[in-house]
Amino acid sequence: MDQQAIRAQMPTLVAGHVPRNIRTFKYRVFDGEPKRSTMGFFVDPEPFDGTVIAITDAAIVIKVGRADFAVVDRNMVTQQPAEGDKVHVQPYARRCFDGKRADTPEERTETWNGHSYSVKTVVLGSAAAKLPIPTPQCPELKALIEQLEELPAPDGYRRITHLLVDAGARDFTWVDPEPDDIIKTPPAIAFDVATGKFEGRVTVLYERGDDLYAVELRRGEELVERVDEVFADSLGEVLERLIDDGQWRQIRLEIFPVPARTRRQKVSA
């Protein structure tokens, strides 16, 4: 979407939708590109409701306040609305494996002087997605968990665990061997995914001899593909190539149903 063209068109597109006593208007652009705060770190946009006031070949303009508008890339929405539709828009936001937004404040209970109270903590710029795996005894498995949680995905916006969340990763299992069994039963993490690229079981396992990783794709007992000699900093690229279909980039748009009374009035008109 050409943002310079949109900027030039906006005064005309919003004409008639801004109160006469307001001389300026604001708008935000949602085109699938990650947003950064004034401090430079990535932020996840909040969902919003509004009314569609204009549609161009490239953009959908939605009024969300008296003089506030949203411009949404028309090629990225999951539904195509019409002018006048009331819509709910949910841009992509990084999430955890429990479905919550990754920027949800961490809540814990503490006790002071015999009284319990709740504390919410937010780390600016942090949107971690922790694997649903308990702390292991095996150092190599612990290192793999940390790498998946902390290393960036190839898009630079998500971490590898966000990539797994977006691929629908579930039913996690892991191998946490004793030190003497690390070759016979290598440390591994396995999970199911379902994307447009692959549906089945994915296993990331540690290869002791080379101090590298391997990634396996299976459907049932069938080995579909195995990638050996994967360096830690290449895990994101390999997993993206194998299981990431890019659907996470879509902007979810839902059209609110028109009340029956309003439909009758339109028909009568």
Query: Average per-residue pLDDT in the chain?
Result: 91
126 pLDDT band, cuts 50/70/90, is low
Tell me what pLDDT residue 121 has. 63
The reply to whether the predicted model has a pTM over 0.75 is yes
> Which tokens in the block code for residue 123?
């780390």
116 pLDDT band, cuts 50/70/90, is confident
Spatial CB neighbours of 237, under 8 Å, sequence gap ≥ 6:
154
Q: Do 205 and 214 contact (CB within 8 A), yes or no? A: yes
Q: Is the pLDDT of residue 269 over 80?
A: no
Stretch among 28-32, 36-40, 83-87, 182-186 having the lowest mean pLDDT: 36-40
Tell me what pLDDT residue 158 has. 95
- CATH 2.40.50.140 maps onto the chain at 3-92+250-268
Q: CATH fold of 3-92+250-268, please?
A: OB fold (Dihydrolipoamide Acetyltransferase, E2P) (2.40.50)
Q: Is the pLDDT of residue 227 over 90?
A: yes
Q: Of 191, 239, 184, which is closest to residue 206 (Cα–Cα)? A: 184
Instruction: Note the pLDDT tens digit of each residue in 35-68.
Output: 888 878 898 999 999 999 999 999 999 999 999 9
The conformation of residue 134, written as its DSSP 8-state character, comes to P
103 pLDDT band, cuts 50/70/90, is confident
Q: How far is CA 207 from CA 204, 212, 232, 257, in A?
A: 10, 5, 12, 54
Spatial CB neighbours of 143, under 8 Å, sequence gap ≥ 6:
none
Q: Is the pLDDT of residue 88 over 90?
A: yes
Which helix (H) or strand (E) segment is 266 a member of?
helix 260-268
Tell me what pLDDT residue 164 has. 98
Q: Is the pLDDT of residue 106 over 90?
A: no
The conformation of residue 24, written as its DSSP 8-state character, comes to -
Spatial CB neighbours of 129, under 8 Å, sequence gap ≥ 6:
94, 95, 96, 97, 102, 149, 159, 161, 162, 164, 165
If you search the block for the tokens 């990754």, which residue do you land on? 102
Tell me what pLDDT residue 211 has. 85
Q: Which amino acid is at 202?
A: V
Average pLDDT over residues 79-91: 97
Tell me what pLDDT residue 236 has. 97
